[in-house]
Structure 1
Amino acid sequence: MNKAENSVLIRSFRLTSALLNKSQKLSGIFIIILLLTNAVLDVFSIASVLPLVALLLNPELIHSNNLLKSIYNFSGISNSTDFFILITTSVIVLFIIKNIISYWIFRYQSKYAFDVSAGLSGNLLNHFYTLPFLKIKYADTSMYLNRIVNIPPSFVTNILLSLLTIFSEGLIVILISSGLLIYSFDIFLLLLLILGPGAFIYYLIRKKKLSVLNYNLKTKLPKVLRLATEAIKGFVESTIFQKQKHFTNKFDQINKGLNNDYSKLTTAQGTSIKFVEIIIMMGIGILFIYSNLFIDNKNEVVLILSLFAAASYKIVPSINRIFVSFLNIKTHQFTLDELNDIENFKTALSNKSHQPISVNDKIELNNVSFEYPSSSFKLNVKNFKVKKGEKVGIRGLSGSGKSTLINIFIGLISIQKGEFLIDGNKINSDEISEWQKLIGYVGQNPFIFNDSLLYNIAFDYELNADDQERINKTLNFLNLDNLVQSLPDGLNTNIGEEGSKLSGGQKQRIAIARALFPEREILIFDEITSNLDKETEKEVIQTILKVAKRDKTIIFVSHKDEILNTCDKIYRVENGDVFLDKEKVTSSIDD
């Protein structure tokens, strides 16, 4: 193996080790010990065939070979035929036991590997939740899907398991080869000199193609995921504008290329055994020629051929697995790159505890400014003040900065300049999670989970008596009782992907129920009535105002005067500037 291949293996081992936690590393060491044990058993089982062949050729060895003589005397058997049957049966039993142990080790190894995969996927999802809101907002969804769902199992299958395979199968090849070397140095050296260069040339031929496959798999798979996601989510638009062919053609072009690369990889994996078989047959041919020319004793010829044939029984599949593992490691380096390129992958997962935050007087944004990296838009907030128990309205044209203001207020966007104060105390970025525990939020397009109605409201499947009473009260507030009664399994009914089984108004009310259920002290509603009819809108707002009487702080983002006029004060957002528009308006929504 040349320096480049060594560097790939060393790099793969180093980066893999960096991804494993202490417990996983200890389990990995235990697996290596098991693989070492299994390799010794493999060699021992192969070596056990040699006495059988020797006895078959010369039964008198029972009396002339000290080891066989001792076993013969200990067994109490009185004839060579029965002794041969005993030895044969013992070898068969040894092979059975060895393979049972091998099966258990393989099962343990597989479970270990995919436990690592599950852990990595979980960590990646946790890491996803630590990313800045803006990074996620403008990111390619398919990239994160690929990273969280596809990369970890691909990594353990093609890198972690391949490294373990190279270790275990390499150990078997080394031990068996060492035995052959000790038994017949001349024959082993002859085989090595003739067959070694052929194996090296084969790998050099494959090397360049592997690098191309690695790049193609890395770049094409996320593209296929993105195109498939767009095709599904864009079903209505593509159908109305009759652009189905546009989506299918784009998808087919990339997907066919990806599957062509998979085909090449599978071919390389499958044909490596054919090359190994050719090498082994050349070796057997050399053995025949060597034996015919230099060995006169035909029994010795048969013994040598039997030994090398038995060794080939293990070495051929082992060498093939090593080749395939090299192929997998070489073509899936991108999985290591993906996992190790994640900034602060491990440190971001730690959960720091902070003192709970409470609001006794007011929340303020003072002299806050924010600019998007790739936009000329700038939000300026000289003073945005929300007193405890107030109802505050925010109005403004589309694109004026209302959503940016709310995202800063709830801590999704970090402040670039200025102060965020609660009761006069500055809130730092590492305290935002505590601040968010006070907030119930409903956006313009709330997300509905492909799960039960209960889970969509409570983020749980089972409720205690108090929670059940609270959810019933919330459903009653929002006139969702009839919906629950109409569903086949009530609250436990799956409401479809993104609420596909519900109307727009029903989805909006479920999102409002989600905000009301935890009884957070600050409730923010961003254009929540956009999908509601007039009567339902009126009922929903009246319900929210009833809730507000329970010492709740309410913020409405809306362009509707009938909603804003229920507020104690209204802020206007215009071209990025935030200023107080009206204060102490007491009109009722019933007017």
Structure 2
Amino acid sequence: MRMIIDPSWKILWNNIPSHRKKQYSVLVVLIVFSSFAEVISLGAVVPFLLVLTDPIKLFSHNSFTFFKEFFSFKTEKDLLLPVTIFFMISSIVAGLIRIYLLKMTLNLSHRTGGDISKQIYTNVLYQDYLDHIEENSSKFISSIISKANQVVTYTIQPIINLFSSSFILLVIFTAMVTIDPFLILASFVTIVLLYLTFAVGAKRRLLANSKIMAAELSNLQKTLAEGFGGIRDVILDNTQEVYLNKYISSDTPYRNALAENAFKSSSPKYYVEAFGLVVFASFAYYLSIKHGSLVESLPLLGALALAAQRMLPVIQISYNSWANLKTGKAILEDVTKLLTLEKKIFNLNSTNDKLSFKDEYALKSVSFLYPNTNKKILDNIQLTIKKGDRIGIIGKTGSGKSTLLDLIMGLIYPSSGFIKVDGTILKKEYILSWQKNIAHVPQSIFLIDASISENVALGIKIQEINLKRVHDCLKQAELLEFVNSLERGTDTLVGERGVKLSGGQRQRIGIARALYKNAEVLIFDEATSALDEKTESSLMKSIYKLNKNLTLIIVAHRLTTISKCDYIFEMENGSIRKKDSMLSSNLRNRLGKLK
């Protein structure tokens, strides 16, 4: 069987932190110590059995002369206690080293799994916005949580075990060959051939099941996210069985593949053990015929038995590790793809400072279309926004409003045309600096399962949150009265996705969050759509009273929402079709009709 280093292993190794690689070097040294400890404990068997069955032979053996003189042994009876103690100590030391090796292997491999998970999460978070909307988040979540753990189980630990068991096997085999080359070599070759036969027969199914497991694991994560994410509709529409059946359709092949690979990994052990007993009985018979009695061969048979007791599990570990590597091959490939993702946002910002915005933001002949499409979502947009402007944007669904906001926020970049900030072209490397000026209040507010204050100051460490500022922002968002009525105030937990709050309350927290950021440009993407007319009117009055240096961009369906904007832009089919001043009679007439 050819031993080929998988390219994915190299990618994995290259993405392991340098301090972790040093720890693996220490692990290799420990494996070497463990191997020689095994040999010493094994070598102690022969003199121990000899001192029990034929102490005179041991006492008179040439190789024992040095020890007799050094320890002043007078008769063969003097050997019993020290040889027994040496055998016991060597066995205990070898066992302790094995235990410590196991502990270090598990700790190191799982910490490496943590490094991998963190690296994937970092790479994914620093992808472009377009990359995120083109991929299902369940794929990323599955790789970060489940697949990273499975890389530990099916790649890292098997590689360590394969190296460790191979080295230990080599050392034990080399030591045992000196006792009886023919018997040891014949036993070893026979067992290895058996495992090679199993490996050849299992390889194809192991790889096929590996692909099934990798694919279905992502599907399982996706199904769970869909079911729990839309639990209100699931209960309302009584579609629990639909999601359950979808889950089962992925879980069943995943479990079957997992079970089959586990069986193919572990089953050879029992065949080989049964065959090993037959071989051992054959050797005992051979030695009995050769020497005329088993008494003289007992030390050799004892050493063989102990060697087999040590070697068979080691060979099984080697085979099992190989099988696990095949099982985890597809999963490892998925993980390494994410490990090698280029961080498209990371380090693009040449400065930590906010980009200066003192005069105007302008879109010049800007068009945008999504990758691999021909349809322009934005077409030749000409738009200038002065600092301190209150801008209203209206338009039908699909007219390009959201894409325009994504462009202004720097989440996407023009396919053609360019953007200027204070007369300077906004290049990609300055996008992060520009985004420091932006605060966004979407229609659906993202809330974490934490306190109100943590949600208002999202992304800020708890100990660094300015509670006075939180209260001021809540007051401007007209939510402070409600928060003060709660028993725990701003420490009140909002629940998963803000489930403990009403829709309007969630929107107000989103607005308070935008205010807390102290940005230069506030973008409201239908942020008040969940509020009743009276509350919305009151809230908009508060927003319009904000510092006049703040630039407000408000997307809304209701004209009353943007009634006090300086300008209104109406979008249609990706173009700005009309620009109305609030002083124009046209807009007054439209508002009159609405009333």
Question: Which structure 2 residues correspond to residues 91-130 of structure 1 after superposition, within 5 A?
Answer: 91-130=87-126
The whole-number CA distance in structure 1 between the counterparts of 2:258 and 2:486 is: 45
- Change in CA separation of 1:219 and 1:339 when aligned onto 2, cut-off 3 Å: same
- Residue in 2 that maps onto 1:424: 423
- Change in CA separation of 1:202 and 1:343 when aligned onto 2, cut-off 3 Å: closer
- Residue in 1 that maps onto 2:215: 219
Q: Work out whether 1:566 is the aligned partner of 2:564.
A: yes
- Residue in 2 that maps onto 1:354: 350
Q: Is the 8 A contact 1:364 1:385 kept in 2?
A: yes
- Residue in 2 that maps onto 1:462: 462
Choose 370-379 or 181-190, whichever is displaced more. 370-379
- Residue in 2 that maps onto 1:159: 155
C-alpha distance after superposition, 1:471-498 (max 9, x if no partner): 1111222232233334443322321111
The whole-number CA distance in structure 2 between the counterparts of 1:469 and 1:238 is: 41
Identity of aligned residues (%): 24
- Change in CA separation of 1:54 and 1:351 when aligned onto 2, cut-off 3 Å: farther
- Residue in 1 that maps onto 2:26: 30
Q: Is the 8 A contact 1:195 1:283 kept in 2?
A: no
- Residue in 1 that maps onto 2:438: 439
**Paired amino acid for 2:126:** T
- Change in CA separation of 1:172 and 1:300 when aligned onto 2, cut-off 3 Å: farther
Question: Which structure 2 residues correspond to residues 69-468 of structure 1 after superposition, within 5 A?
Answer: 70-71=66-67, 74-75=70-71, 83-296=79-292, 298-342=294-338, 344-345=340-341, 350-355=346-351, 356=353, 357-372=355-370, 373-374=372-373, 376-459=375-458, 460-464=460-464, 467-468=466-467
Q: CA deviation at 1:252?
A: 1.5
The whole-number CA distance in structure 1 between the counterparts of 2:366 and 2:6 is: 50
The whole-number CA distance in structure 2 between the counterparts of 1:35 and 1:107 is: 12
Q: Is the 8 A contact 1:457 1:517 kept in 2?
A: yes
The whole-number CA distance in structure 2 between the counterparts of 1:165 and 1:76 is: 43
Q: Is the 8 A contact 1:62 1:72 kept in 2?
A: no
Q: CA deviation at 1:182?
A: 2.0
Q: CA deviation at 1:463?
A: 4.3
Q: Which runs of 5+ in 1 are unaligned?
A: none
3-state SS, counterpart of residue 298 of structure 1 = coil
Q: CA deviation at 1:340?
A: 2.6
The whole-number CA distance in structure 1 between the counterparts of 2:7 and 2:499 is: 47
The whole-number CA distance in structure 2 between the counterparts of 1:483 and 1:272 is: 67
- Change in CA separation of 1:155 and 1:504 when aligned onto 2, cut-off 3 Å: same
**Paired amino acid for 2:249:** Q
- Residue in 1 that maps onto 2:50: 54
Q: Is the 8 A contact 2:45 2:299 kept in 1?
A: no
Q: Is the 8 A contact 1:276 1:319 kept in 2?
A: no
Q: Is the 8 A contact 1:42 1:98 kept in 2?
A: yes
- Residue in 1 that maps onto 2:526: 527
- Change in CA separation of 1:55 and 1:10 when aligned onto 2, cut-off 3 Å: farther
**Paired amino acid for 2:462:** E
- Residue in 2 that maps onto 1:482: 481
Q: CA deviation at 1:74?
A: 4.7
Q: CA deviation at 1:352?
A: 4.6
- TM-score (ref. length: structure 2): 0.92
The whole-number CA distance in structure 2 between the counterparts of 1:47 and 1:136 is: 60
The whole-number CA distance in structure 2 between the counterparts of 1:584 and 1:274 is: 85
**Paired amino acid for 1:452:** S
3-state SS, counterpart of residue 514 of structure 2 = helix
- Change in CA separation of 1:202 and 1:222 when aligned onto 2, cut-off 3 Å: same
- TM-score (ref. length: structure 1): 0.92
- Residue in 2 that maps onto 1:556: 554
Q: CA deviation at 1:299?
A: 3.5
- Residue in 1 that maps onto 2:501: 502
- Change in CA separation of 1:276 and 1:530 when aligned onto 2, cut-off 3 Å: same
Q: CA deviation at 1:273?
A: 2.1
- Change in CA separation of 1:497 and 1:399 when aligned onto 2, cut-off 3 Å: same
Q: CA deviation at 1:243?
A: 2.5
Q: Is the 8 A contact 1:368 1:418 kept in 2?
A: yes
Q: Is the 8 A contact 2:73 2:79 kept in 1?
A: yes
Q: Is the 8 A contact 1:477 1:543 kept in 2?
A: yes
Q: CA deviation at 1:11?
A: 3.9
Q: CA deviation at 1:143?
A: 0.9
3-state SS, counterpart of residue 60 of structure 1 = helix
- Change in CA separation of 1:324 and 1:179 when aligned onto 2, cut-off 3 Å: same
Q: How many residues align?
A: 584
The whole-number CA distance in structure 1 between the counterparts of 2:143 and 2:411 is: 23
Q: Which runs of 5+ in 2 are unaligned?
A: none
Q: CA deviation at 1:393?
A: 1.1
Q: CA deviation at 1:119?
A: 1.6
C-alpha distance after superposition, 1:509-528 (max 9, x if no partner): 11111111121111111101
The whole-number CA distance in structure 1 between the counterparts of 2:42 and 2:301 is: 13
The whole-number CA distance in structure 2 between the counterparts of 1:108 and 1:260 is: 32
The whole-number CA distance in structure 2 between the counterparts of 1:79 and 1:184 is: 28
**Paired amino acid for 1:141:** S
- Change in CA separation of 1:22 and 1:350 when aligned onto 2, cut-off 3 Å: farther
The whole-number CA distance in structure 2 between the counterparts of 1:193 and 1:129 is: 52
- Change in CA separation of 1:482 and 1:281 when aligned onto 2, cut-off 3 Å: farther
Q: Is the 8 A contact 2:284 2:294 kept in 1?
A: no
3-state SS, counterpart of residue 300 of structure 1 = coil
- Change in CA separation of 1:547 and 1:80 when aligned onto 2, cut-off 3 Å: farther
C-alpha distance after superposition, 1:148-175 (max 9, x if no partner): 1112111122111111100001111111
Q: Is the 8 A contact 1:454 1:461 kept in 2?
A: no
The whole-number CA distance in structure 1 between the counterparts of 2:282 and 2:191 is: 10
**Paired amino acid for 1:48:** A
Q: Is the 8 A contact 1:449 1:499 kept in 2?
A: yes
The whole-number CA distance in structure 2 between the counterparts of 1:193 and 1:111 is: 34
The whole-number CA distance in structure 2 between the counterparts of 1:36 and 1:345 is: 36
The whole-number CA distance in structure 2 between the counterparts of 1:189 and 1:574 is: 83
C-alpha distance after superposition, 1:220-275 (max 9, x if no partner): 11111111222222323233333322222222122122112222222223323213
The whole-number CA distance in structure 1 between the counterparts of 2:299 and 2:339 is: 60
3-state SS, counterpart of residue 546 of structure 2 = helix
**Paired amino acid for 2:546:** V
- Change in CA separation of 1:347 and 1:362 when aligned onto 2, cut-off 3 Å: closer
C-alpha distance after superposition, 1:262-312 (max 9, x if no partner): 222222233232133124223312312321232335343111111111111
The whole-number CA distance in structure 1 between the counterparts of 2:302 and 2:102 is: 28
C-alpha distance after superposition, 1:519-544 (max 9, x if no partner): 11111111011111122212221222
The whole-number CA distance in structure 1 between the counterparts of 2:499 and 2:160 is: 46
